[in-house]
Amino acid sequence: MRKILFIDVDGFALIQFRGPLLKRLTESGIDVTVGSSHFREVDRTGLERIGCTVVQFPMQRTGINPLKDRACKSGIESLIRSERPDILVARAGKAVAYALPIARRLGVRRRIGLMTGLGTMFYPGSIKEHLLAPVARRLMLKGLRAATEIWTLNEDNTRLLEELGATRGGSRIHCMDSDGVDLEKFPASPLPEHPTFTFIGRLMTSKGFDLFLEAAQQALKEEPGMRFIVAGEPDRKHRSESQSQLEQMSAEGSLQYEGFVDDLPELLKRSSCIVLPSYHEGRPRSVLEALATGRPVVVSDAVGCRDVIEHEVHGLIVPIGNAMTLASSMVQLARHQDQISQMGAAARRLAETRYAENVVVDRFMNRLFTADPES
């Protein structure tokens, strides 16, 4: 029986994003072990229910602390020695930086670095992140050079990693395009009567949250009947100055602030269009879920966003950082709801053919077991 070991910086991501793939693997008779530093009980239970062995080891997700990182490396090495996997898949951060070199030293034949985004290492926000970013990048690139394969979710990240020499160790790099979306959980549904534009994500400048608020204010001057929803929580490390503006607009009734929303399908039913004017992404899940429900999206011409849709077919692509253009794009859609309907139907078809969970899992399974690893 073949054995695969997945190591991730976040146990939640293993069940939330890799869950369908892990389930397909165990149903195919593959011995699957997953390792991370933290598992919520609900995540552990979910992983065990689909047949995975769950192992926890110490790992500090962010920051550089020699003592804690030594314990992390020791935990990863013990896990790899005990599991002796045929394939190791390491995703993000220290999982990639530490697990891949250790796996190479221990003779693991296939070592895959899964880069679902490049995050603050390449797009730092705070002063602390700017200081740590060069060190984090060096560690990441060293880890990727120990891989036999690197998987990304968008072509921009693929090109950047190649330019930075991530494949210098002889690894092959493949763009896997996206995580999948559950079309049954996110079914197509009728559009709301009033044009409603929704932002879903962490309330961070890098996600374009500030731009969304500014654009909403401008749009309301032209079309007072437009409705806006914000769903998401403030990021404690990246507090945006616009959060006070959000509270004021919410109090005035200019928009509806819902905080963290657990029932996203219900939220999407109340939305005409999802807006994500982000500065960079891996592959934004909220956008994929919106497409699945038949909602057009307005996204920025940014890494991880620009190639999710076709402009004026499944939504609109706007310049990065331009609140005025974003506002006019939303007003355009609000005034032409037939356009929202047409784009929404095309969005659902795109989700069915490109982003559906079964389509994406087939793509990953093919790369794992059918495709020639050397191709």
Check: CB of residue 223 under 8 Å from CB of residue 331. yes
The one-character DSSP state at 322 is: -
In the predicted structure, residue 53 carries a pLDDT above the cut 90: yes
Helix (H) or strand (E) holding 103: helix 93-105
Task: Say if residue 239's pLDDT is above 60.
Answer: no
What tens digit of pLDDT does each residue of 318-374 get?
999 999 999 999 999 999 999 999 999 999 999 999 999 999 999 999 999 975 555
DSSP state of 280: B
* Alpha carbon distance 106, 84 (integer Å): 9
Q: What pLDDT was estimated at residue 375?
A: 47
Distance CA 317, CA 305 (A): 8
Residue 287: which of 123, 122, 154, 126 has the closest Cα? 154
Taking CA atoms, 322 is separated from 128, 229, 279, 291, 305, in Å, by 27, 20, 11, 23, 15
Going by their DSSP bridges, the two strands 227-231 and 256-259 should be labelled as: parallel
Assign residue 55 a region (left: φ > 0; alpha: ψ between -120 and 50; beta: otherwise): beta
Q: Say if pTM beats, i.e. exceeds, 0.95.
A: no
Strands 297-300 and 315-318: parallel
Residues paired with 275 in a beta bridge:
298
Give the confidence band of 115 by pLDDT, cuts at 50, 70, 90.
very high
Rounded to the nearest integer, the mean pLDDT of the chain is 90
Cα 215 to Cα 198: distance, rounded to the nearest angstrom: 12
Q: For the segment 298-314, what is each residue's pLDDT rounded down to a tens digit?
A: 999 999 999 999 999 99
- Pick the closest to residue 253 from 275, 226, 271, 272 (CA basis): 226
Question: Once rounded to an integer, what is the mean pLDDT over residues 98-116?
Answer: 96
Tell me which DSSP letter residue 238 carries: S
Q: Nearest-CA neighbor of 158 among 144, 171, 175?
A: 175
Q: For residue 290, which of 313, 263, 318, 265 has the smallest C-alpha distance?
A: 265
Helix (H) or strand (E) holding 90: strand 87-91
CA atoms within 13 A on the CB side of 149: 22
Q: Which tokens is 5 given?
A: 């070991």
Choice between 271 and 239, residue whose per-residue pLDDT is larger: 271
Cα separation, 310 vs 190, in Å, equals 22
The whole-angstrom separation of Cα 92 and Cα 114 is: 7
3-state secondary structure of 299: strand
Q: Which residue has the higher pLDDT, 19 or 63?
A: 19
Consecutive H or E run containing 121: helix 119-122
**Bridge partners of residue 5, in order along the sequence:** 33, 88
Q: What are phi and psi of 296, to 5 degrees?
A: -70, 160
Same fold, 3-180+357-370 and 196-355: yes
- What is the domain partition of the chain in residue ranges? 3-180+357-370, 196-355
Calpha distance 368→47 (Å, rounded)? 20
Name the CATH superfamily housing domain 3-180+357-370. Glycogen Phosphorylase B; (3.40.50.2000)
- Taking residues 278-290, what's their average pLDDT? 93
Q: How far apart are CA 54 and CA 46, in angstroms?
A: 10
What single-letter amino acid sits at 165? Answer: G
Terminal-to-terminal C-alpha distance of the chain: 24
pLDDT digits (tens, 9 = 90+) for 191-225: 999 999 999 998 988 899 999 999 999 999 999 99
- What would be the CATH architecture of the domain defined by 196-355? 3-Layer(aba) Sandwich (3.40)
Helix axes 337-350, 323-335, angle to 10 degrees: 100
Question: DSSP letters of 148-171?
Answer: SEEEESSHHHHHHHHHTTTTTTS-
Cβ pair 176, 153 in contact under 8 A: yes
Residues present in the chain in total: 375
